Every structure is written in structure tokens, then in C-alpha cells.
Amino acid sequence: NSSPRELADNHIANITVLSDVRAFLSRLKEAAATVTVDANWAEAIRSSRKDSNKTHEAAATSSDRPIHPLRLCLDVLRSLGEDDYLCIDGGDIYGWLETALNFWALEGRRIGGLVHSGPFDQLGTGVSFATAAKMNNPDSNVVLICGDGAFGLAPGLPPETAFHYDAPITIVVAKNLSWGMINRQQLAIWNREFMTSLRDVPYH
């Protein structure tokens, strides 16, 4: 941060840096070019991910209906080319996408970019993020995977800006009729749900 006050008041950090943000990021970019990754460490991470994937193998390959969210995320990822972009918005579906990325990345695949709201998990940003990605990359396909709860939080008529600027995006709404993560926590803790169910909306 460029303010000592903000460094003192903001999130606890292992390392605090007082700097102009542009200067810091420029220096960080230069330094990143010289970083090497230990091959043994990288292989240990790869092996750990492969072991983790085994617990989800059945869901990843299942042809059951309704489609499992892991299979949905994998199908979308595998449909994208190297210049395409994937956006994600949601809680429950976000978790499944992270698992899907472990499968997909080990297949050696690449895309142009992944756009999400970061560690703050601000729901309702997906359509605007996808629209911005498309406007910035007009020749790329941009796909948004969005939970039904998160889609309902998007302000106003969500795709209107995309329509207005002729920035066509594809929106895949993962519909579980609930605030999935909170719903399951309620069931696990209290064996009942409270105000976490959503109505059945025909998003298509």
C-alpha cells in the first residue's frame, strides 16, 4: 500500500510493503521473470493433485442427470480454446470449478484467462466481468459459469451491457435451487434449512 495508515489498519500480512502500487507491480513483474520452480516441489504438488482427483473421479465422469456440477465445469473447460476466457461467479459452483481445474490442468490444457472476484468472493460480479473480458478480447469466446444465487445478485438486467456493446458472452447457470454452500452447512449442523432455497427460474 502507498499509505502507512492503511498498512497498519488493513488485513494482517506476513510482509507489508510501503510503495507506490504501480512501481511495486512493475518491480514484481521484473523479479517474476527470474524465478525458477524446483522440479521436485512441482512434481510433489502434481502428485498431490492426482491423489485428490481420485476421490472425485466418479463425479467427473458421471453421465447421470441432472449433471453433476464437477462434470458441468469440466465440460465447459474442455470446450474452450487457448484464446478463450472463463469467468466464474458463485460459492458452491466456484468450489467445484477449483476441483475441475485440477483435472483439466493435468490434461495439459490452456485457456486465455480465468476471471473471478478473488479471495473476497463478491457474488453478482460474473456478468459484468464476462462482459468486460469480451469487450477487451472481442475475438475470443467468453463463457461465464454462474450459480443461480450469484446470478440473482447481478444488478439490474445482467446481460444488458453485453447486448448494448455487442459483446456476446455465454452464460451457464448452475441451478441447484439454493444457496448451496450455506444450505449444506445448515443441514449438516442443524439438520434443517432456513431461507436458503431459491425458486425454480427458467434461465434459458
Computed on alpha carbons and rounded to an integer, the radius of gyration of the chain in Å comes to 20
Q: What is the DSSP letter of 192?
A: S
**Strand, coil or helix: 30:** helix
For the record, the C-alpha cell of 20 comes out as 507506490
- Angle among Cα 123, 124, 127 to the nearest 5 degrees reads 135
Say how many residues make up the chain. Answer: 204
For the record, the C-alpha cell of 26 comes out as 512493475
Q: Distance between CA 161 and CA 166 in Å, rounded?
A: 8
The residue type found at 136 is N
pLDDT value of residue 80: 97
pTM over 0.75: yes
> How many angstroms separate the Cα of 160 from the Cα of each of 139, 163, 200?
20, 5, 22
Q: Which of 150, 155, 154 is nearest to 181 (CA)?
A: 150
For the record, the C-alpha cell of 87 comes out as 469467468
Q: Distance between CA 17 and CA 142 in Å, rounded?
A: 35
pLDDT value of residue 22: 93
- Per residue in 6-29, pLDDT (tens digit) is 887 767 778 888 999 899 999 999
In which order are the strands placed within the sheet that holds 85-89? 113-115, 85-89, 142-147, 170-174
Q: Distance between CA 179 and CA 195 in Å, rounded?
A: 9
- Per residue in 78-116, pLDDT (tens digit) is 999 999 999 999 989 999 999 999 999 999 999 999 999
Q: Distance between CA 157 and CA 197 in Å, rounded?
A: 22
pLDDT value of residue 6: 80
- Per residue in 108-145, pLDDT (tens digit) is 999 999 999 877 778 899 999 999 999 999 999 999 99
pLDDT value of residue 43: 93
Q: 138 preceded by cis ω (within 30°)? A: no
Sequence-ordered list of residues with C-beta below 8 angstroms from that of 200, at least 6 positions apart, any chain: 175, 177
- Per residue in 146-187, pLDDT (tens digit) is 999 999 888 778 899 999 999 999 999 999 888 888 888 899
Inter-residue contact 108 to 98 (CB < 8 Å): no
